[in-house]
Amino acid sequence: MPLREEVNEKLSRAFLNEIINKRLSTLQEVSRLPRFISEYAIKEICGEDPTPSDLATLSDFVKKYYPEPKERDRILHELMTKGEYTLLDSLKTSVDIKRGIHKVEIPCLRIHDARIMQSILETHKELLEAGMWGIATLKYAPLSASEEEETQSPVLITNFEPLQYSGIKIEEFKEKRGLFSTEEWITVLINTFGLNPEVYTERGRLLLLSRLVPLIEENVNMFELGPRATGKSFLPKNISYYTRLYSGGRISPAVLFFHGTFKTIGDIGVKDYVIFDEISKVNFSNPDEMMGKLKDYMESGEFERGLLRRARSGCSLMFMGNVEVEGEVPAEDFSSVLPSYMKDSAFIDRIHGFIPGWELPKILQTDVHLSTDYGFITDYFCEILHEMRKESFQRLVEERVALKSEPENLTIRDEKSVKKIASGMLKILCPHGVVGNDELKMCMDIAVEYRQRVVDWLHQISPGEFKPKRIMWQER
């Protein structure tokens, strides 16, 4: 039996309710939805082999509940005149303790202060943390002047149905990993991305999987350069709702760290993973303040701003950029893609690993590059990654591996970087904790290579401060 058929069959037996045929993920009817929501909807509405009627129902579902930005005023008008409206969005609740109220953000309507029934918050506490995707029923219920000041929103959320996987059994997931060989497991994970594993070399598959490291390991700082259309931003944007992607544009300390006016924690404090895409076009509103706080956070995992004193977060960071390629190597210096305020060796030294995205092929043809086999439903896999962040395999690395360099000037940052990346890779390949010599070598080679690329970069930009060295590892 060919590997792909064997993997599909084995996956269907082990994870019957947690998988989907990835060919369904490309259905036009759900193209506007993030992948972690579209696959949930497909599984619930269509099943394995959708009929034309199923597809029509799916299309109607998207049109009815997931509005386009241009529909905002029409929806608000309908809410005001009819008294109620139901929609699909990502909701996040904050607490205004001085006024004793909760404020809900509804992004598609650009509402930041909707009210919500207390019973909903008691049932879905995640709304008070990273937020949740779901179907919300809104009611137009303005308060009288005697009840509350006029600034309180007239929009009240009266019902909420999550569209996220719940009830993750992480130990069961780990145990079932043991049913697959490492080659089979890698095939499953690449299919889960929605990509065709057969397009990639063995090394290419590991490079793809390494993009998961910041999603599965806390406080990892990564960097990736590559040509357009290689999937750099698609993966984090579509595989997890615990991420925030900034694609160029202006970014302020308020949205990233702490908003002094609204007293709300920024994205670094509430997300698992923050991505700065199109890094050359990122514009920090206050570069000196931002870089100071960013470097502090990248080193310590803590941040402060204004009234907020030393908050801690496990949020990982990724800095991405596009680079032209000649042959198989970048045609320009790495530093050329950075804005001027990031061309700083202290910042670059805090990057744990550098992914060579230029080695991956462009994703251009549906029938060639996209998967038509089974993989994990994206929102299920998203929750697995989220749960696995609570564990660390760094102790395993320390017990089995010795690090050194030639000449002997390995820094604490070098050691920390290699261990973090290796821990993340091991959790991806061996979540059950059974790590053979081959798996250890795969993960350690990638971890050392990624940090070595940062070390070489540092020597290039500041040769007087950063002497050349070669990082090595060996089994104890």
How does pLDDT run across 420-469, given as a tens digit for each residue? Answer: 999 999 999 999 999 999 999 999 999 999 999 999 999 999 999 999 99
Calpha distance 135→88 (Å, rounded): 4
At residue 149, the pLDDT reads 56
Tokens of 164: 């996220």
List, for residues 85-112, the tens digit of each pLDDT value.
999 999 999 998 888 899 999 999 999 9
**In the structure, what pLDDT confidence band is assigned to residue 152 with cuts at 50, 70 and 90?**
confident
Mean pLDDT of all residues belonging to the chain = 93
Compute the average pLDDT of residues 324-348: 87
Q: Could you identify the residue written with the tokens 């070598």? A: 441
- Residues composing the chain: 476
Residue type, 323: V
**In the structure, what pLDDT confidence band is assigned to residue 172 with cuts at 50, 70 and 90?**
very high
List, for residues 301-328, the tens digit of each pLDDT value.
999 998 888 899 999 999 999 988 776 7
SS (H, E, C) the chain: CCHHHHHHHHHHHHCCCCEEEHHHHHCHHHCCCCHHHHHHHHHHHCCCCCCHHHHHHHHHHHHHHCCCHHHHHHHHHHHHHHCEEEEEEEEEEEEECCCCEEEEEEHHHCEEEEEECHHHHHHCHHHHCCCEEEEEEEEECCCCCCCCCCCCCCEEEEEEEECCCCCCCHHHHHHHHCCCCHHHHHHHHHHHCCECHHHCCHHHHHHHHHCCHHHHCCCCEEEEEECCCCCCCHHHHHHCCCEEEEEEEEECHHHHCEECCCCEECHHHHCCEEEEEEEEEEEECCHHHHHHHHHHHHHHCEEEECCEEEEECCCEEEEEEECCEECCEECCCHHHHCCHHHCCHHHHHCCCEEEEHHHCCCCCCHHHHECCCEEECHHHHHHHHHHHCCCCCHHHHHHHEEEEEECCCCCHHHHHHHHHHHHHHHHHHCCCCCCCHHHHHHHHHHHHHHHHHHHHHHHHHCCCCCCCCEEEEEEC
Q: What is this structure's pTM?
A: 0.92
pLDDT at 150 over 60: no
List, for residues 258-300, the tens digit of each pLDDT value.
988 878 899 999 999 999 999 999 999 889 999 999 999 999 9
pLDDT at 3 over 80: no
What are the sequence ranges of the domains in the chain?
A: 89-162, 201-360+391-475
Strands 111-116 and 132-140: unpaired
**Whole-number percent of the chain with pLDDT over 90:** 77
Distances (CA, A) of 439 to 347, 426, 435, 445: 31, 8, 6, 10
At residue 170, the pLDDT reads 97
At residue 49, the pLDDT reads 81
33 within 8 A of 108, measured Cβ to Cβ: no
Compute the average pLDDT of residues 164-170: 86
What CATH number labels 201-360+391-475?
Answer: 3.40.50
At residue 272, the pLDDT reads 97
Report which of residues 285 and 140 the model is more confident about: 140
At residue 260, the pLDDT reads 84
At residue 262, the pLDDT reads 76
pLDDT at 216 over 90: yes
Tokens of 412: 């604490």
List, for residues 346-362, the tens digit of each pLDDT value.
999 999 999 999 999 99
List, for residues 30-73, the tens digit of each pLDDT value.
888 889 889 988 988 887 788 889 889 999 999 999 999 999 99
